[in-house]
Amino acid sequence: MNCEKCGTSIDPDEKYEHAGQILCEDCYLDMKAAPKVCDPWAVYTAKKEAGANPTLTPIQEKILNLIRKKGETTAEEICREIGIKEEEFRTNFAALRHMELARATKKGDEIYFTTFSN
């Protein structure tokens, strides 16, 4: 029997079931620990990566560098400067937020993006 998530072989006595999937203990605990958000898989991946040594994709790096350079910036500006679609920005920003590298802040009607420790 194998874990349906990571594929590791598991003893039938040690299997865990979550949302209809058979999981190993590690994956089960990860599922349980993951906060409920619109994209659990992004959080799961981000947390895993942030643990030891965060690995950013080139787009995530560009977003983070731009935010660092500007201090505070809007999604519009980020998309224009980097040349990505807003949808792409949102997905990548979610990962940065879960790695606690960047965050969003509201000023009036506008949402600004800034670094986490600001």
Where along the sequence are the contacts to Zn ion (CB under 5 A)? 3, 5-6, 8, 24, 27
For the CB of residue 105, give the shortest distance to Zn ion in the complex, in Å. 37
**Residue nearer to Zn ion on the CB measure, 14 or 61:** 14
What is the SS3 string spanning 10-22? CCHHHCEEECCEE
Name which of 18 and 103 has its Cβ closer to Zn ion. Answer: 18
Nearest residue (CB) to Zn ion, 3 versus 101? 3
As measured in angstroms, the least distance from the Cβ of 81 to Zn ion is 39
Cα distances from 39 to residues 13, 72, 89, 98, in angstroms, run 31, 25, 14, 11
Tokens read off for 71? 């201090």
